[in-house]
Amino acid sequence: MQKFEYRTPRYLVDLPVVFRLQDASLPGRCREIGKEGMSIELQHPVAAETCGTVSLIYKDLSLELRVCVTHTGPETKGLKFLFDSDKDRSAVERLVALLAGPGPS
């Protein structure tokens, strides 16, 4: 029997990103984001398990995070965040809260 792992909620967005690998900077678009990862569209092929950094800016937040590709499609790549610190995790949580909109009153 295969283990089923729940994924944190993802939110639909359209944000410019730059995916940096050791020898390249690839511009793309973030299409979904959650507290543990994101889906991005790239025009260039990237293999699963490739690691690098992703940079994005939204309002007053500017993030650069280490990531690894978890799955690939023809254009969309799934990225998992590799947090270096609680500060990085908090920054992503703040970004997701802003993108998710106001909570219940």
Q: Give the residue extent of every domain in the chain.
A: 10-100
Give me the percent of the chain exceeding a pLDDT of 70. 90
Higher pLDDT, residue 73 or 55: 55
* Residue 90 φ/ψ, nearest 5 degrees: -65, -40
Name the 3-class secondary structure at 99: helix
| HEC readout, 36-91 | CEEEEEECCCCCCCCEEEEEEEECCEEEEEEEEEEEECCCEEEEEEECCCHHHHHH
Long-range contacts of 43-51 (CB under 8 A, 24+ apart): 43/75, 45/72, 46/19, 46/21, 46/72, 46/77, 47/72, 48/72, 50/21, 51/82
Residues 35-67 pLDDT 10s: 999 999 998 889 999 999 999 999 988 999 999
pLDDT above 90 for 10? no
Query: Which CATH entry fits the domain spanning 10-100: 3.40.630.30, 2.40.10.220, 3.30.2310.20, 3.40.50.740?
Result: 2.40.10.220
